[in-house]
Amino acid sequence: MSTHKHHWETVDPYDGGLHICKKCKLSSQGERLATPCPISDAEHRAVAWLGQAGLYGTRLEAVRNGEQSITPVSFALLFELASNQVLSQLNEGRHRG
């Protein structure tokens, strides 16, 4: 069971307020629901998704490619992966020339 917390935003402050979770889009009138959110913070902030066959721009793209297990990739991790790839290619070019 998920233990992720909702990221509530109040969009209408009247009559107890209308609250909408920015992650899963669940809405609640009056009191904010105490139920867990199905989406983790990492999934919500993901800029890419990493699967067995490679990196995908969206979760849907990964699923359409038949990926069974995907991991959310943050901006920091994506930058690190790209930097490592560039350094690897630069080092490979030095050894050839």
Residue 81 is predicted with a pLDDT of 87
d(CA 10, CA 63): 32
pLDDT, mean of residues 42-64: 92
Computed over every residue of the chain, the mean pLDDT equals 89
CB 53: neighbour CB atoms within 10 A?
10
The pLDDT tens digits of the residues spanning 8-25 come to 999 988 888 999 999 999
The pLDDT tens digits of the residues spanning 86-96 come to 999 998 887 77
Taking every pair of Cα atoms in the chain, the longest distance, rounded to a whole number of angstroms, is: 72
Residue 97 is predicted with a pLDDT of 61
pTM over 0.75: no
How many Cα atoms are found within 13 Å in the side-chain-facing hemisphere of 36?
A: 8
